[in-house]
Amino acid sequence: MTGTPTTGTAQVPVVVLSGYLGAGKTTVLNHLLRSPGARVGVVVNDFGAIGVDAALVRGQVDEPASISGGCLCCLPDAGGLDDALERLTQPRLRLDVVVVEASGVADPAVLRRLVRFSGAERVRPGGVVEVVDALAAPGLLADGTLRDSRFAAASLVVVTKTEHLAASERGVRLRDLTAAVRAKNADAPVVVAPGGHLDPALVFDAAEATDPDDELPLGSLVRAGAAGHADHTHADTVTVLAPGPVDAGALVDVLEDPPGGVYRLKGTVVVDTGRTLRRYVVHVVGRQVYIAAHDGGPRGPDGLVAIGTGLDEGEVHRRLAAALRPDAGRAPSGRSDGLRRLVRHRRLSA
């Protein structure tokens, strides 16, 4: 059995890209927009200058969604953001992800809640990516600004401008930043993105640079400019296919407690309820679990894909394989508890 597990669902992940003014958010976003084979929608904040490469956005969607009037999290009832997300998640656009680039004064915790409880029906949370300027980090850490708010809300911390530090200073700076993240957030990975080069696999699904089926002309831009950026953090991937229906409890165990280093977990699985078989789409970003009934689209192989950094691939494979083993006579009480946990996550994901 070969192939990659499918993740068919009508929901579009919405990623919040946050960070102080000058941290490098727009540079990171423009790099992500060049991802081959990915259609990226963008919600930008008209508070101050917009540096998003509009030509790249126009290459992927009919029109970028722009919100005027200041910080996104200050819009009354979040109506402006909901309207933008409703537009960009229309099925006709076939977007893989929507990125909300927040202003430097936006509170990422508020934005995370606005996305989580968005009135746009086709939205699911895709995580909060906090961008930190390595050059400015000492001052931010000294007054506690970053530690007290932004790190706690982040699901991924991206450190930019490390290319401007001496090698000896770079290690110390990253150590201090990582310690500050861990003081408020035990789970958020800290990755390095010199020049804004963040591996898109950490944020959303994108084709390989060698994929011959790129829909977008942007793929050639990545291939032409890929050399010389080997110093940024690359994502590791482990895929395990499901041999058959799985036990709900074992599945939820690995979704709630992914293997070390795993930032994203995704796939489709058939769950044996004891009465019938039901197919679900599952996603984990950071420690946020999303479960939905499969939308009935084209069916590929079932299984799980783990994405992260510094993975012990053997251990990750072992954990995923254990979660995907068919139920071998689990007691009815254990099966019922697993199903209750799965249904709870599904309700919370709605």
Between 224 and 312, where is the model more confident?
A: 312
Is the separation of the CB atoms in 245 and 327 below 8 Å?
A: yes
Look-up: residue for tokens 């911390």? Answer: 157
Look-up: residue for tokens 């994405």? Answer: 307
* Mean pLDDT of the chain, nearest integer: 80
CATH for 12-225 is 3.40.50.300
Residue 261 pLDDT greater than 70, yes or no: yes
Query: Given this model, what pLDDT does residue 137 score?
Result: 82
Contacts of 70 (CB under 8 A, 6+ apart): 45, 47, 103
Distances (CA, A) of 190 to 41, 159, 253: 25, 7, 24
Residues carrying CATH 3.40.50.300, the chain: 12-225
Look-up: residue for tokens 């099966």? Answer: 335
Mean pLDDT of 44-63: 62
Q: What is the side-by-side order of every strand in the sheet holding 12-18?
A: 65-67, 40-45, 97-101, 12-18, 123-133, 156-160, 190-192
Lowest mean pLDDT among 26-40, 209-223, 245-259, 300-314: 209-223
pLDDT band for 63, please (50, 70, 90 cuts): low
Residue 236 pLDDT greater than 80, yes or no: yes
Query: Given this model, what pLDDT does residue 218 score?
Result: 27
Query: What CA–CA distance (Å, rounded) separates 266 from 290?
Result: 9
Query: Given this model, what pLDDT does residue 124 score?
Result: 92
Query: Given this model, what pLDDT does residue 102 score?
Result: 86
Lowest mean pLDDT among 54-68, 104-118, 287-301: 54-68
pLDDT band for 212, please (50, 70, 90 cuts): very low
Residues carrying CATH 3.30.1220, the chain: 236-349
Question: DSSP letter at 194?
Answer: G
Contacts of 316 (CB under 8 A, 6+ apart): 238, 259, 261, 262, 306
Lowest mean pLDDT among 110-114, 171-175, 298-302: 298-302
Residue 223 pLDDT greater than 50, yes or no: no
Look-up: residue for tokens 């990545």? Answer: 222
Q: Under CATH, to which class is 236-349 assigned? A: alpha beta
Cα dihedral 68, 74, 80, 81, rounded to 10, equals: 110
pLDDT digit string, tens, across residues 193-205 = 999 999 999 999 8
Query: Given this model, what pLDDT does residue 342 score?
Result: 94
Residue type, 307: I
Mean pLDDT of 234-238: 90
Residue 331 pLDDT greater than 60, yes or no: no
Mean pLDDT of 340-344: 93
Query: Given this model, what pLDDT does residue 3 score?
Result: 65
Residue 134 pLDDT greater than 80, yes or no: yes
Q: How is residue 105 written in tokens?
A: 């004064």
